[in-house]
Amino acid sequence: MESTPAPPLLTPHKMGQFDLSHRVVLAPLTRQRSYGNVPQPHAGVYYAQRATKGGLLIAEATGVSDTAQGYKDAPGVWTKEQIDAWKPVVDAVHAKGALFFCQIWHAGRVSNYKLQPNGQAPISSTDKQVSPQMSADGRLEEFSPPRRLAKDEIPNVVDDFREAARNAIAAVGFDGVEIHGAYSYIIEQFLKDSANDRTDEYGG
């Protein structure tokens, strides 16, 4: 008797050094339940519930520094407290046999004074403000006028991504990181002419 072939989604996949037992991946989903930007124990329950042996989960967008936040109570991975709080979350996922990547993120100008250290302007490639947008739960979200970075400040942000990746993998124990490049956050702000109006004065 011929056996029915497995649906392609449920077949194994070699992703670089990782052997996945299937191709159903948990997409990164901002949850806004990391109070004070620190992951909470219930995150371990949430992620472990979605973990399967040989599966891959990508964690919610996780700030690389104190200027990175674009949403209240999104987690970070730049302080020791945050690193320590992530560890049991990652352990819970690993205990189910799944792989777990951290999505590292900087919102740039998609932010607000209230989310910034000392109420400062969000940093970006531009000083043009983002228009208000309707949030997923139907509120009108306002963004503050950003401050365009000077050329010599940009490497600090690159270093923040480096440090966050090291923290996530070496200190916490995530299996890898995904750099959040989409949705008009800081990387797109620098890559798109519509948002990057820096002149030669600022280093182009």
Ligand X SMILES: Cc1cc2nc3c(=O)[nH]c(=O)nc-3n(C[C@H](O)[C@H](O)[C@H](O)COP(=O)(O)O)c2cc1C
Name the residues that contact ligand X, by CB under 6 A. Answer: 27-30, 60-61, 103, 136, 180, 182
Widest distance between CA atoms in the chain: 73
Q: Which is nearer to ligand X, 110 or 123 (CB)?
A: 110
Annotated catalytic residue, options 47, 113, 183, 185? 185
Q: Which is nearer to ligand X, 128 or 179 (CB)?
A: 179
Give me the DSSP letters along 138-188.
SPEEP-PPPEEPPGGGHHHHHHHHHHHHHIIIIII--SEEEE---TT-HHH
76 beta partners:
63
Q: Which is nearer to ligand X, 29 or 45 (CB)?
A: 29
- Identify the helix (H) or strand (E) that includes residue 125: none
Q: Report which of 109, 117, 124 is spatially closest to residue 66, judged by C-alpha positions.
A: 117
User: Is 202 noted as a catalytic residue in this protein?
Assistant: no
* Min dist. Cβ of residue 136 to ligand X (A): 5
Angle subtended at Cα 110 by Cα 118 and Cα 26, rounded to the nearest 5 degrees: 115
Q: Look at residue 64 and give its three-state secondary structure.
A: coil
* Min dist. Cβ of residue 50 to ligand X (A): 13
Q: Which is nearer to ligand X, 9 or 136 (CB)?
A: 136
> Annotated catalytic sites, by residue?
185
